[in-house]
């Protein structure tokens, strides 16, 4: 007859306890009551039951709570091993299979310094399988280690280390790379603390082949990853919006395209926060003159409408991104058929206009957002979504210090990108040049299968 949370603070509490098997100490952080049951009466007294829900759990030495700080972190994410592509594992067998030898050579730890005294390292651990009647072997697991002498809380480690790494590797591999393991170590502690978080996923996964990964460690190096950790906070939440097209591909196509179009505007604002088309004084003067030129009853509305007159238009923001990535992902923003004539038109204007049209159409229900046939509309939206994805990915990867020429070299041999361009030339030739004889030969035979969205 009393509230189930009568003993708990509204913002949660910290509970210390023990795991029975194996016997380890645990700390439940930001705990709220999940309900309880009490048995009244009976021959044998029953202590009842109380259930709790925690935001996350720390397995290891008891901690004070969410304010506990740690100076070192070890992180594993899905497909980290495939991205790292470390050498050192080989197998030898005789012609008649009478003997098999598996060989492992340790890889020297790589490390780079971040701003301040933080150090990022890439290393691996080996787990041996004891010989049995079924066989023997070993397993190598790659992990990232970051040392921050000033100390960070669990929330800060998650925001500054876990999330940026998962987002960058998702863009680098082309598949979802959620975190699978996070261990923290405090100054003076003897044990590592194992973080159990609801966003951690199972670690088992099949390794990706090297050619399936867009950028492996030889192109997107540990130094690039360190740079990303330094700039990712200023770019948030744009990387999350971009990688969502990979992490949750089943969402409706219009919602994905609207989200990506909004991400393009948000990315420009973060990359060029001081970009203005007129001075503040010119803006104020224009608003005053416009306000005087209209009837009194609409003066405030006109003044509010001109509040952002000094900022770049959406088309200008898109133009910045296409210019930024033109060398990195050639033809992603379109090559018009007019290029085959003697004229030199703006090769991305049509693409930018279509992105703007569908954005305004989905957001404001303006006309001109659908083709005359629904079949043509969804085809165009698929291509616009995927090409805009590549423009945004290239713009984000360039923030790590990767050279545009490196990205260009890779996309030219990356099958999903070349398949997308071939598909774009077939589906919307008004934006992309019709395939020439050479490009048709590269396309092989038949219609390519639709790009997954």
Q: Assess if residue 43 is contained within a domain.
A: no
Q: Assess if residue 247 is contained within a domain.
A: no
- Indicate if 410 and 326 belong to the same structural domain: yes
pLDDT, one tens digit per residue, over 408-419 is: 999 999 999 999
- Indicate if 21 and 128 belong to the same structural domain: no
Phi–psi pair at 302, nearest 5 degrees: -65, -40
Match 């996070």 to its residue by tokens.
Answer: 182
- Indicate if 61 and 75 belong to the same structural domain: no
Residue 453 pLDDT greater than 60, yes or no = no
Helix axes 374-398, 404-411, angle to 10 degrees: 140
Structural domains counted in the chain: 4
- Indicate if 297 and 330 belong to the same structural domain: no
Residue 415: closest CA among 217, 245, 211, 177: 211
User: DSSP code of 98?
Assistant: S
pLDDT given at position 6: 52
Higher pLDDT, 130 or 446: 130
pLDDT given at position 378: 85
- Indicate if 342 and 377 belong to the same structural domain: yes
pLDDT given at position 140: 78
Q: Assess if residue 134 is contained within a domain.
A: yes
Q: Assess if residue 33 is contained within a domain.
A: yes
**Confidence band (pLDDT; 50, 70, 90) for 440?**
very low
Residue 147 pLDDT greater than 80, yes or no = yes
Higher pLDDT, 372 or 104: 104
Look over the chain and give the mean of its residue pLDDT values, rounded to a whole number.
Answer: 83
Q: Choose the weakest-confidence range: 38-52, 178-192, 321-335.
A: 38-52
Phi–psi pair at 200, nearest 5 degrees: -75, 135
Residue 363 pLDDT greater than 80, yes or no = no
Q: Assess if residue 242 is contained within a domain.
A: no
DSSP for 110-158, written as a single string: EEEE-STT-EEEEEEEEEEEEEETTEEEEEEEEEEEEEEEEEE-HHHHI
- Indicate if 168 and 224 belong to the same structural domain: yes
Q: Assess if residue 451 is contained within a domain.
A: no
Q: Assess if residue 98 is contained within a domain.
A: no
- Domain extent, residue 123, equals 70-90+103-236
Euclidean distance between CA atoms 32 and 39, whole angstroms: 22
pLDDT, one tens digit per residue, over 417-434 is: 999 999 999 988 888 875
Euclidean distance between CA atoms 152 and 162, whole angstroms: 13
What is the percent of the chain with per-residue pLDDT over 70, rounded to a whole number? Answer: 85
pTM score, whole prediction: 0.83
What average pLDDT does the segment 288-309 reach?
A: 76
- Indicate if 317 and 227 belong to the same structural domain: no
Q: Assess if residue 243 is contained within a domain.
A: no
pLDDT, one tens digit per residue, over 202-247 is: 876 678 888 889 999 999 999 999 999 999 999 999 999 999 988 7
Q: Choose the weakest-confidence range: 25-29, 39-43, 192-196, 343-347.
A: 343-347
DSSP for 338-406, written as a single string: GGGSS----TTHHHHHHHHHHHHHHHH--SS-S-SSHHHHHHHHHHHHHHHHHHHHHHHHHTTT--HHH
- Indicate if 201 and 295 belong to the same structural domain: no
Do residues 56 and 194 make contact, with C-beta atoms less than 8 angstroms apart?
no
pLDDT given at position 443: 39
Do residues 332 and 387 make contact, with C-beta atoms less than 8 angstroms apart?
yes
């Amino acid at each position: 007859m009393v509230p189930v949370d009568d003993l708990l603070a509204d913002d949660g509490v910290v509970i210390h306890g023990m795991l029975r098997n194996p016997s380890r100490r645990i700390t439940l952080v930001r705990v709220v009551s999940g309900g309880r049951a009490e048995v009244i009466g009976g021959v044998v007294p029953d202590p009842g039951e109380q259930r709790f829900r925690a935001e996350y759990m720390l397995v290891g030495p008891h901690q004070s709570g969410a304010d506990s700080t740690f100076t070192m972190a070890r992180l594993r994410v899905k497909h980290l091993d495939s991205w790292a592509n470390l050498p050192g594992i080989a197998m030898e067998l005789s012609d008649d299979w009478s003997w098999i030898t598996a060989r492992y050579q340790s890889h020297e730890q790589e490390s780079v310094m971040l701003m301040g005294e933080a150090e990022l390292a890439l290393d691996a651990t080996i787990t041996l399988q004891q010989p049995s009647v079924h066989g023997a072997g070993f397993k190598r697991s790659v992990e990232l280690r970051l040392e921050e002498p000033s100390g960070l809380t669990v929330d800060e480690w998650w925001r500054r280390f876990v999330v940026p790494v998962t987002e960058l590797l998702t863009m680098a591999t082309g598949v979802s790379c959620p975190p699978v393991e996070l261990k923290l170590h405090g100054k003076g502690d003897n044990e590592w603390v194992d973080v159990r978080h609801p966003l951690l996923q199972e670690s088992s996964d099949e390794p990706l082949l090297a050619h399936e990964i867009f950028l492996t460690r030889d192109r997107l190096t540990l130094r690039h990853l360190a740079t990303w950790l330094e700039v990712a906070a200023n770019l948030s939440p744009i990387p999350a919006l971009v990688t969502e097209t990979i992490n949750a591909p089943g969402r409706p196509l219009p919602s994905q395209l609207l989200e990506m179009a909004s991400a393009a505007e948000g990315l420009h604002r973060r990359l060029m926060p001081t970009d203005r088309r007129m001075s503040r004084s010119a803006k104020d003067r224009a608003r005053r003159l416009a306000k005087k030129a209209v009837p009194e009853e609409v003066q405030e509305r006109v003044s509010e409408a001109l509040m952002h007159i000094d900022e770049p238009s959406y088309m200008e923001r898109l133009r910045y991104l296409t210019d930024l990535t033109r060398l990195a992902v050639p033809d992603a923003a379109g090559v018009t058929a007019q290029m085959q004539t003697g004229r030199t038109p703006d090769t991305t204007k049509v693409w930018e206009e279509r992105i703007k049209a569908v954005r305004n159409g989905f957001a404001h229900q303006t006309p001109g957002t659908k083709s005359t046939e629904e079949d043509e509309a969804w085809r165009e939206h698929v291509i616009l979504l995927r090409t805009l994805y590549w423009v945004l990915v290239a713009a984000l990867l360039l923030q790590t210090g990767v050279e545009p020429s490196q990205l260009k070299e890779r996309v030219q041999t990356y099958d999903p990108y070349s398949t997308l361009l071939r598909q774009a030339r077939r589906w919307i030739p008004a934006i992309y040049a019709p395939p020439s004889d050479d490009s048709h030969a590269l396309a092989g035979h038949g219609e390519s299968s639709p790009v997954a969205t």
